[in-house]
Amino acid sequence: MASLEDIERFTSDSMNDSRKIYATMVSIMDEGIGKVADALKERGMMGNTILVFTSDNGARFSSQGSNFPLRGGKGSFLEGGVRGVAFVNSPLFQKTGYTNTNLHHVTDWYATFQTLAGDNPEVHGKVQLPIDGVDIWRSISNNTPCREEVLLNLRDSSKYFNLSTPDAVNVSAVIETINVTESENCF
């Protein structure tokens, strides 16, 4: 929890209490990230570092969050619930100084870090279950699109459909995806 001194330092009187605490936490996190980046620079490690800060969903309305102009929020499948922001910084990027609008999913980070770390399960015989994410390094380092759709939800249809009815068409799952065409922006 944020101290009262920090809350006073980072907020204004026009904010309600929960927004003051949230703004303070974000500000303190920002200071901490700066300290980590400074330490990496001092130790000569920044040249081989990728800093990633990301969210896994949109803002929550009950905490006075806003996803405007998008509809929906945390817990919904509308754009305001599934779009999130990310900050990625690295001297390893081939292209810099732009806003990446390619389609990514939070699960893509595992596949990307696994590839960047040189981990290849087949080479060392490590058993790995299939993963949902894809390697997005080319997308974030030089703005090359990496995927056209994202699985948003997969649920057991037996909980939602009576499969014994004549209308049932042997449905084993309901799959909700976002399909992206070239004319749509993802982020």
Per residue in 107-146, pLDDT (tens digit) is 899 999 999 998 877 777 777 778 888 999 999 999 999 8
Report if pTM > 0.75.
no
pLDDT at 164: 52
Handedness of CA 53, 59, 62, 65 (dihedral sign): positive
- Strands of the chain, DSSP E: 51-54, 86-89, 149-156, 173-179
Q: Residue 85: which residues within 8 A CB-CB, separation 6 or more? A: 54, 55, 187
Q: What is the DSSP letter of 95?
A: S
Cα–Cα distance, 64 to 21 (Å, whole number): 12
Cα–Cα distance, 117 to 178 (Å, whole number): 29
Question: Which tokens belong to 165?
Answer: 């009815």
